[in-house]
Every structure is written in structure tokens, then in C-alpha cells.
Amino acid sequence: MTKPPATIFALLDCNNFYASCERAFNPKLRKRPIVVLSNNDGCVIARSAEAKALGIPMGAPAFKFQPLFRKHGVAVFSSNFALYGDMSRRVMDTAARFTPDMEIYSIDEAFLRLDRMHDRPLDVARRIRATIQQWTGIPVSIGIGPTKTLAKVANRVAKKHPEHGGAFSLEDHPDRDRILTDIEIEDVWGIGRQYGKKLREFGIRNALQFSRLDKDWVRKRMTVNGMHTLLELQGVPCLPLEQTVATPKSIVCSRTFAGSLTDKDKLAEIISGYAARTGERLRAQGCVAGHLQVFMLTDRFRLDRPQYSNAAVSSLVAPTSRTPDLIRAARKVLDQIFKPGYEYRKAGVMLFGIEKEQGRRLHLFEPSPEERARSKAVMETMDRINAKWGAMTMRLGAEGTGKRWVMRQAHLSPRYTTNWRELPVVRLD
């Protein structure tokens, strides 16, 4: 009997992705430290290698680090998710030209299978990397291994050791044990801090030591997921390539306000807007939700002010993605939890009980098929208009008519690839 070919996985990971997106359209940013801030320009959520070298931590409050930013000429950007999302699509589309076997794992990561290629996997990885760099300007690192977990390990080596040229294969390495010894136990994909702390109590400090444990011992203490990690480190594939998009467990839209709010009507407009955004994301994924939560809180850093936080859940009559239904439910929950006399600084809407719209179970109080079809057509029309002319071009009156609640984005770069008015201009002098 012919032995089937060994599975070979590759993990493609964009280097400092948000910072690299900014650099791709502004060559002056090369070698300059870059940080990208969260919603309302609050905290650092992404750093270039140069910013990391300055000791700027992830999650750092931007206002506390302003002196350091000025001293070292750090380029500061607001989150430009329109740009980052489109650049991610371009990177993934480029990688997909080389192999149809691809799982998009996150906005800046994807798993590939390379064992069905005619050429040596490391050569293919280098071509993928060079093509993505040429076509998009985004640098990537690619790690290759017989399992997803070992591909993650190899990717870490590719990133940390530039002598490998951004691509590294554990398949070709003569001393895999030495590589695993250098991986701290907490850094193994699927283990994390909590299990890492417990394992250290048993003297397990790195990936190699973990890979030599007994299967039953690991399963007893870390369930079947821990055993899968063990087998993957031993070179036994347990995690297949997922080429279908999983249904999300929850969808959240929340923001920290630019200033404190006390007026309930203004909060109701904001909550309605958040409900509408979650509905758009539901429809984009072909899903409906059965439950909606609204939460709100005051500024916990202002100890001189009264503090209050609360959340409540509404179970929808039937799972839906209709914006009017979600807004109606959100405003009812707001009525339950709002207390006057407090200065609110953050609020949000979360949907859960999510399932695919096609194939879901019907409920007793379902609208008629005609009503569902009519409602779906209206929502699809709204989504098409907003996709073409910009977010919130068409919205419900409950969301308000002004733009006063737009996020603070004082350092926003242009949407170079998704807005005609913001396309980069080349001048030949």
C-alpha cells in the first residue's frame, strides 16, 4: 500500500500589520517608530519593531506616553480599519493564488497547506513572501511544519531570526528539539498563561519538555485540547485546515466616548447606532442572533465622581438580523439600566445566541415568509447603499441625524485603497 504524503502546513503572518499598512503608502515612515491607537485614540493597540524597542507597551494609555512620542519622533496613527481590512484582503488574495488550501485565521494570519505542491515547500513560501511584498508592500513571515502548532513555532523563528529571510521550515531543520527548547511554555499555541503557570509547577518550562509528556497525564489535566497540542508538537496533525467560516459566538460594538454623557436621549441614539452596526455585521455573515445585551459604565479612573455600571439582556422574540428589531430591543434594555445623575463614559451592544440564517430552527412567532422576504430586501438595500456611499449614509431615525458621536480620530491616515477622494497621488517633478 502506498503511504500517503505527509501533511505540510505553513503559517503566514504579517509583520506588525497595522504599522506596515501605514508604511506601505508613506515611505518616510521606514525605520521610524510607529504606534496605532484604539478607538477614540485611547490606548496603543499596535507597534512597529522600532516602537517596541523604545519600551512602549501594548495597551499603553496614549496620553501618558506623549512626552516619549515627541522625544523619539514616534508616528502616531488612529485606527484605520477601512485600510487595514482592505490590505488584509489583498494579502490573502495574493497568497490564495499559490494554493487553494487556505484558512484565514485572523486579519493578519493564514494557514496554508503546501504538501500538494510540486516544488519544495520552503521555495514556495519564499515566492509567496516575495510576491506579497511586491504586490502589497506588506512584509510577512512564513513558518512551515507538519502540523499547525509546529508551523506556529516555525513562524516564531522566522520572525525573530532575520538570517532566515522571513521563511523558516522545521521540516528541513536537523535539530527540532533545540528549536522547541527555546519556546517558553506559555508561548506554545493552545497553552497560554493559565496552563503555563500550572505546567511550570510540574517543572515543564518549554515546548520540548511538554512534547515528551504522557498523553493520559496531559488529557487528565488539560482536557482533549491539551492532548491535541501535545500530539501536534510531536508531529501528529490533529487540527485540520478550516476552509469554511465559523459562526461567531458573539458580535460586539462598543466605544469609549470622547467625553462624558449624562443625557439619556443622546445615549439612546448612540446605543441605537451600535445595534445597527452589529446588525450589519450579522447580515454580512449570513447570521441571525437570539439575544442582545446592552452595557454601560462611568469612568472608573475618575475616583472623584460617582461610579455606576450595569448590563442587561433581551431575548428576541425570534432570532433576527433586522436593524429595527435590534434597535427596539436595545432601547428597551437601556430603559432598564439607565440611571440619571451619572456621567457615562462607555457603552456597548453585544449579540449572542448567533446561528446561520439558512437552516436555522423556526419559531412560533416567526413573521410570514412574505414579511421576511420584504424585510430582507429592505436591509440588503440599506447595506448596498452604505457599502457604496459610506457607512451611515442611510440609517434609521433612532440613530440621530447628526455626526456628533463620530469617534475621535485625530491621527487618521487616508483610506488609500477604498475611497476615491483619498487615493494616493504620484507627482513626477
Which pLDDT value is given to residue 260?
85
- Residues 349 and 220 placed together within one structural domain of the fold: no
Give the DSSP per-residue string, 365-399: TPPPHHHHHHHHHHHHHHHHHHHHH-TTSS--GGG
pLDDT at 344 over 50: yes
222 contact partners, CB below 8 Å, separation of at least 6? 195, 229
The residue with cell 488550501 is 101
- Residues 180 and 156 placed together within one structural domain of the fold: no
* Grid cell digits, residue 48: 512597529
The residue with cell 429595527 is 324
- Residues 128 and 13 placed together within one structural domain of the fold: yes
pLDDT 10s digits, 150-180? 999 999 999 999 999 999 999 878 889 999 9
Residue where a domain stops, chosen among 195, 228, 244: 244
Residue where a domain stops, chosen among 217, 244, 271: 244
- Residues 351 and 383 placed together within one structural domain of the fold: yes
Q: How many CB atoms lie under 10 A from the CB of residue 376?
A: 14
CATH number of the CATH domain containing 220: 1.10.150.20
**How many angstroms separate the CA atoms of 268 and 263, rounded?**
9
What percent of the chain stands above pLDDT 90?
58
Residue closest to 21 by CA, chosen among 62, 78, 73: 78
- Residues 289 and 418 placed together within one structural domain of the fold: no
- Residues 190 and 223 placed together within one structural domain of the fold: yes
Instruction: Look at residue 400 and tell me if it is in a domain.
Output: no
- Residues 192 and 46 placed together within one structural domain of the fold: no
396 contact partners, CB below 8 Å, separation of at least 6? 272, 276, 323, 324, 327
121 contact partners, CB below 8 Å, separation of at least 6? 8, 10, 114, 115, 144, 169, 171
- Residues 49 and 71 placed together within one structural domain of the fold: yes
Which pLDDT value is given to residue 405?
52
Cβ–Cβ under 8 Å, residues 379 and 283: yes
Length of the chain: 429
**How many angstroms separate the CA atoms of 390 and 383, rounded?**
10
Handedness of CA 341, 342, 343, 347 (dihedral sign): negative
> Side-chain half-sphere of 369: how many Cα atoms within 13 Å?
0
Mean pLDDT, to the nearest integer, of 269-288?
91
Which pLDDT value is given to residue 247?
67
- Residues 52 and 135 placed together within one structural domain of the fold: yes
Higher-pLDDT residue of 357, 281: 281
**How many angstroms separate the CA atoms of 391 and 178, rounded?**
51
What is the CA 389 to chain-centroid distance, rounded?
25
CATH number of the CATH domain containing 384: 3.30.1490.100
Q: How many CB atoms lie under 10 A from the CB of residue 332?
A: 13
Instruction: Look at residue 294 and tell me if it is in a domain.
Output: yes
Single-letter code of the amino acid located at 176: R
- Residues 9 and 89 placed together within one structural domain of the fold: yes
- Residues 289 and 354 placed together within one structural domain of the fold: yes
Q: Total domain count for the chain?
A: 3
**How many angstroms separate the CA atoms of 197 and 192, rounded?**
9
| Domain encompassing residue 68 | 1-173+409-429
Residue 239: strand, helix, or coil: coil
Instruction: Look at residue 302 and tell me if it is in a domain.
Output: yes
Cβ–Cβ under 8 Å, residues 250 and 351: yes
**Could you tell me which residues are beta bridge partners of residue 256?**
346
pLDDT 10s digits, 57-91? 999 899 999 999 999 999 999 988 889 989 999 99
Lowest mean pLDDT among 36-40, 44-48, 136-140, 405-409: 405-409
Instruction: Look at residue 401 and tell me if it is in a domain.
Output: no
pLDDT 10s digits, 185-242? 999 998 988 899 999 999 999 999 999 999 999 999 998 999 999 999 999 999 888 7
Q: What is the pTM of this model?
A: 0.74
- Residues 133 and 8 placed together within one structural domain of the fold: yes
pLDDT 10s digits, 396-405? 888 887 654 5
What is the CA 371 to chain-centroid distance, rounded?
35
Long-range contacts of residues 104-107, Cβ cutoff 8 Å, at least 24 apart: 105/11, 107/17
Confidence of residue 406 (pLDDT cuts 50, 70, 90): low
CATH number of the CATH domain containing 419: 3.30.70.270
